[in-house]
Amino acid sequence: MTEVNANPLSLSGKVALITGATSGIGAQQARALSSAGASVVLVGRREDRLKELAEEIRDSGGEADYLGADLSDESHWQLVVDASLSFFGRVDILCNTAGVNLRQHADDVTPESWDLTLGLNLKVPFFLAQKLIPNMRERGWGKIINVASLQSERAFANGIAYGASKGGITQLTRAMAEAWSKDGVSCNAIAPGFFPTELTAPVFDNDEMSSKFANQTAIGRNGELSDLDGICVFLSSHASDYITGQTIYIDGGFTAK
């Protein structure tokens, strides 16, 4: 049984691996988990961005290392796992945040674009987790956080492959929880609403569209990246040890209306 810190939200002594950490939600997760005490391993394609974020975290008193990798290339998966374990000796938390949204109309989707989207958004999260489970199982504790979407439940224009991948994430999260929770590894997903990231730039660059989605929420605004900090730390910590297999919408009440 893993020793629990007196503060169940503390991540002191834990190590988190965050994919898609070059910007947006992944970078924000890295900052939040580091602020809660975790050492963080940053993974993404743009190594210069990772280096900047690692330096930012170190300058704030945290511990961070990074690895440039293209997760759409299956040959990089074991490299990511091996390097992550070598940095701090363990991985307790896996944030599967890397993803792609090509925004293609259904008529324009090709087998290649379909495979890229489903591969990065759905296949990679499972197989990275599978490779890290032995390390987590050895200590009887671990946390996996997948990233779902509003499109896990709703259809949006030009999102057929992306929506299929994110619908799959909700079921994948349940299935991973069923497979591994008895080993002490819980698996949950966050489903963000509209937040300012590179993937949502087309929304935030269009004032009319941005306002439309803000008005659709119960709160009356789109998300700010800091709105994700609390749920990320919570799902990564002992405070959520009896929560698994869930998809939690962080959408300002978008799906409530």
User: Is residue 94 within 8 Å of 40, Cβ to Cβ?
Assistant: no
Pair of tokens at residue 16:
């988190």
Element at 203 (helix H, strand E) = helix 201-204
Q: Where does the chain show beta strands of DSSP type E?
A: 15-19, 39-44, 64-68, 93-96, 142-147, 185-192, 247-250
Rounded Cα distance, 15 and 87, in Å: 10
b or e along 23-52 (b: 16 or more beta carbons within 10 Å of the residue's beta carbon)? bbbbbbbbbbbbebbbbbbbbbbeeebbee
Write down the catalytic residue from 66, 162, 242, 249: 162
242 as an active site residue: the answer is no
DSSP string, 5-50: PSSTT--TT-EEEEESTTSHHHHHHHHHHHHTT-EEEEEES-HHHH
Question: What is d(CA 188, CA 80) in angstroms, rounded to the nearest whole number?
Answer: 22
Residue 216 CA from chain centroid, whole number: 24
The strand order across the sheet containing 15-19 reads: 64-68, 39-44, 15-19, 93-96, 142-147, 185-192, 247-250
As annotated, the active-site residues are: 162
